[in-house]
Amino acid sequence: MYSGLRAWGVHAFAFVGITSITSDDADKGSTPADGADQLALDNFNILPNNGLITDFYRSHYTAISNCNVVLEQAEAQKAALSPEDYVRSQAEARFVRGYLYFNLVRTYGRVPLVDRVFKEGDNFNIPQSSAAEVYNFIEQDLMFASTNLPPTWGTQYPGRPTKWTAQAMLAKVYLYQKKWGSALTSAKAVMGSGLYNLSTPYNQIFTEAKENGPESVFEIQALYTRTNQFGTQYAEVQGVRGSGEMDLGWGFNVPSQQLVNAYEPNDPRRDATILFRGETTPYGEVIPASVPNERYNQKVYTDPKFRLEANNRHGLWVNIRILRYADVVLMAAEAANELGGTANTDDALAYLEMVRARARGNNAAILPRITERDQAALRDLIRHERRIELAMEHERFYDLVRWGIAGPVLRAAGKNFVTGRHELMPIPQGEIDKSNGVLTQNPNYN
């Protein structure tokens, strides 16, 4: 079940295109002739037969099927399992399934809800459920997971979802539906657990040494050594595209000039996020002037010692950070501000300062404390902070859509975004064709 999260179509090539290259924070990268489907996403010249759109959709349903198999097997083996193992296996599967459906609903909107294992003779053509129905299904899965998962697994099972992982994911699901009170309650529950903090310096969060650290709420595990190979190509598709020792990947999903310009003066998060051509890395390596892109995603840059240990330069061992504590804190800030009132505004400002204080470190001359109390102005500041703190972490495009500002923002960045069409990706044409007309296309793609 967990291996499905490392799949090529779930969290690699299609993932970086659909969730990041579509945003104003990133460009396609690589070389001009490489990645036609990625270029289509970058420019919003998206057709229903785009291979990445299809791969993302199908791979998510394959992973969902794996979850349904686990649930079916748990039921079949209930008598042989302890009550604790029976419930926890269900809770783990339902968390993963809920997360996968969350990706589907925010990408495609109306999608079929498949909650069982198909048998021979079954009707495979399941009609689409409304987005509201899908969100309700996700909430039920995540609430079950939150109730029945342990608060921690200790060090024995790193990366497995916990009660608080499910609560954090619920907070995000509520946020997308503008259920501000529920989002704030769930986020504050995670913050009150005492299990997470912002103690890790920003420029270390994405290093191999800080995997599963005190900020990690949900992180997909990868392992790739000379003898154990359970890797993911997530870092490979984004790594520096060079030659020799600098052949670190394919060079897709590169930070945009718009992102460079968005940082406040001397914000250290810029240099921890963006790797510039000609730069000397924290490991003493120089990014050659000959690489095809001016910038690369530093959050997937790898430690040379791990490349040597793995006998591989492409970062197949890099964990995928899906949800970290700073995201939870910023969700709490957003929800509190939207609820309004003196106490909530106080809380929103305090949460915002938690994130900025970590970024500021000991340099009091940068990133001043925010004191704005006007709701609309503070909303813009929280949105900006979210963009900067979570840059290149696959949140920006979805955030722009849920805020209702994707059109003007993305068109200002030079993208061909059409309001009323591109908030959602098209349903893959091949899936519509196979369904004998049961599945219908999203608006304005016909």
Q: List, for residues 292-319, the tens digit of each pLDDT value.
A: 999 999 999 999 999 988 889 999 999 9
pLDDT for res 188? 99
Identity of the amino acid at 386: R
Strand partners, 111: 129
Give the mean pLDDT of 223-242.
91
pLDDT for res 68? 98
pLDDT for res 156? 82
For residue 97, what pLDDT band results from cuts at 50, 70 and 90?
A: very high
pLDDT for res 225? 80
pLDDT for res 446? 84
Give the mean pLDDT of 402-425.
99
pLDDT for res 174? 99
**Which residues fall within 8 angstroms of residue 214, CB to CB, at 6 or more apart?**
195, 196, 197, 199, 200, 325
User: What domains does the chain contain, in order, with CATH numbers?
Assistant: 1-149+416-446 (1.25.40.390)
Q: List, for residues 177-232, the tens digit of each pLDDT value.
A: 999 999 999 999 999 999 999 999 999 999 999 999 999 999 999 998 887 788 99
Q: List, for residues 307-354, the tens digit of each pLDDT value.
A: 988 889 999 999 999 999 999 999 999 999 999 999 999 999 999 999
| SS3 state of residue 165 | helix
Q: Cβ(105)–Cβ(72) under 8 Å?
A: no
Q: Cβ(28)–Cβ(252) under 8 Å?
A: yes
Identify the H or E element spanning 130.
none
Strand partners, 252: 29
How many C-beta neighbours within 10 Å does residue 256 have?
Answer: 22
Question: What pTM did the predictor assign?
Answer: 0.97
Provide the percentage of residues in the chain whose pLDDT is more than 70: 100
For residue 122, what pLDDT band results from cuts at 50, 70 and 90?
A: confident
Provide the percentage of residues in the chain whose pLDDT is more than 90: 93
pLDDT for res 189? 99
pLDDT for res 386? 99
Q: Cβ(425)–Cβ(46) under 8 Å?
A: yes
How many CA atoms lie within 13 Å of 354's alpha carbon, on the beta-carbon side?
Answer: 22
Whole-angstrom Cα distance, residue 212 to residue 198?
A: 13
Distances (CA, A) of 21 to 5, 41, 338, 383: 20, 7, 28, 19
Q: Where are the alpha helices (DSSP H) in 77-191?
A: 83-108, 131-148, 163-176, 180-191
Q: Compute the mean pLDDT over every residue in the chain, rounded to the nearest whole number.
A: 97
Q: List, for residues 263-284, the tens digit of each pLDDT value.
A: 999 999 999 999 999 999 989 9
Q: List, for residues 42-76, the tens digit of each pLDDT value.
A: 999 999 999 999 999 999 999 999 999 999 999 99
- Backbone φ and ψ for 216, nearest 5 degrees, come out as -80, 115
Helices (H) and strands (E) in the chain, counts: 17, 10
Torsion of the alpha carbons at 234, 18, 219 and 227, rounded to the nearest 10: -20
Distances (CA, A) of 414 to 22, 183, 256, 444: 11, 33, 11, 21
How many residues would you count in the chain?
A: 446
Distances (CA, A) of 392 to 79, 88, 173: 46, 33, 20
pLDDT for res 123? 84
Q: When comparing pLDDT for 156 and 23, which is higher?
A: 23
**Residue 245: pLDDT above 90?**
no
**Which residues fall within 8 angstroms of residue 322, CB to CB, at 6 or more apart?**
99, 217, 218, 219, 220
Whole-angstrom Cα distance, residue 439 to residue 443?
A: 13
Whole-angstrom Cα distance, residue 407 to residue 266?
A: 30
Q: Cβ(114)–Cβ(128) under 8 Å?
A: no
pLDDT for res 120? 81
Torsion of the alpha carbons at 201, 207, 210 and 212, rounded to the nearest 10: 120
Identify the H or E element spanning 356.
helix 342-360
**Residue 155: pLDDT above 90?**
no
Give the mean pLDDT of 405-421.
99
Q: List, for residues 357-399, the tens digit of each pLDDT value.
A: 999 999 999 999 999 999 999 999 999 999 999 999 999 999 9
**Which residues fall within 8 angstroms of residue 121, CB to CB, at 6 or more apart?**
none
Give the mean pLDDT of 408-428.
99
